[in-house]
Amino acid sequence: MHVRYIKKTSNMAKGKKSKSYGDDFNVDAEIASWEDDRKIKETKTMLKVKGINIKCRGNRQKDVIKLIDEKDISIVIGPPGTGKTYLACAKALKFVKDNPLTYKKITLIKSVNVPKDEEIGYLKGSMEEKMEMYMYPFISNFEKIVGKVETNALRTNGVIDILPIKFALGVTLDDSIVIIDEAQQISKDNLRTLMTRIGQNTKIIFLGDVKQKSVNKRHKSALELLIEHFGGVDEMGCVELTEDDVVRHPIIKKIIRVFEKIEKAEDLNGQG
């Protein structure tokens, strides 16, 4: 097995009164109502498909599945087209399907590759609408595995949830499978925030490719830090996929080799 074992401002406008609740507002009743709604929702989130069959192509993909089974935090690295996102999504769905009382939610986190701390506020629409374009790789894989109808139902019922990095601080992720994609674009500070969100009955899966790093190139990314500094943590592990594991299209292997030659030439010439 090829495994390397390795973180008040006031909204009141001038001349307008702030919203207040009347004396008859019952906080306990509101909390109880919210809890009831959540329990009702949870009964509707069971996957209706008979089973989740994870199709591994090659031993290293099998190593990925074994790693996620055995470790609390998994790091899966490799070039494009090696099935990183598919394997993580399929395994997350299988956890929710087979152990619904332990794993109740799949939380999706992805760097949006925008400078200045993952800002996405300039985009129009709600937070979910802003994140939608970045989450397409996740959603398309879920649809391949369980279908579009089931995927939409899981999203509607909150089983598949999106968490922007910017709002992760202070959140505890319990009973969840957390998939963090594009880890090579995430900063050290955000890595610390994300790793320390892990709660009870939770697994975190980091995905990425160091060679696709496109921001903060002068500083080591979350993915590089994970690989280099967490080897002594027993609850963590890493599997590296290579161009030999590419399953998307045969031409990708050739593309990867050409870019490797370009990068080596740039390094020799002191560019890049």
pLDDT tens, residue by residue, 171-217: 999 999 999 999 998 988 899 999 999 999 999 999 999 888 766 67
Locate tokens 């109880």: which residue? Answer: 32
CB 175 within 8 A of CB 102: yes
Q: Is residue 30 part of a domain?
A: no
The percent of residues above 90 in pLDDT, for the chain, comes to 46
Q: Report how many domains make up the chain.
A: 1
Q: What is the pTM of this model?
A: 0.75
Residue 157 structure tokens: 């019922």
Q: Is residue 44 part of a domain?
A: no
Q: What is the pLDDT of residue 4?
A: 55
Q: What is the pLDDT of residue 231?
A: 83
Residue 167: the pLDDT is: 87
Helices (H), the chain: 27-43, 59-70, 84-98, 115-118, 127-132, 136-146, 148-156, 188-195, 222-229, 251-268
Range in 37-41, 106-110, 192-196, 219-223 with the lowest mean pLDDT:
37-41
- Identify whether 28 is part of a domain: no
Query: Is the residue at 76 inside a domain?
Result: yes
Top mean-pLDDT range of 15-24, 26-35, 85-94 = 85-94
- For the chain, the straight-line distance linking the first and the last C-alpha, in angstroms and rounded, comes to 34
CATH label of the domain that carries residue 106 = 3.40.50.300
CA atoms within 13 A on the CB side of 124: 0
Residue 225 is part of which domain span? 55-268
**Per-residue pLDDT tens for 44-96?**
445 566 678 888 888 999 999 999 999 999 999 999 889 999 999 999 999 99
What pLDDT score was predicted for residue 215? 67
Is 213 a member of any domain? yes
Q: Is residue 39 part of a domain?
A: no
Residue 228 lies in a domain: yes
Two tokens, residue 3: 């495994």
With 70 as the cut, is the pLDDT of residue 123 above it?
no
Q: Does some domain include residue 92?
A: yes
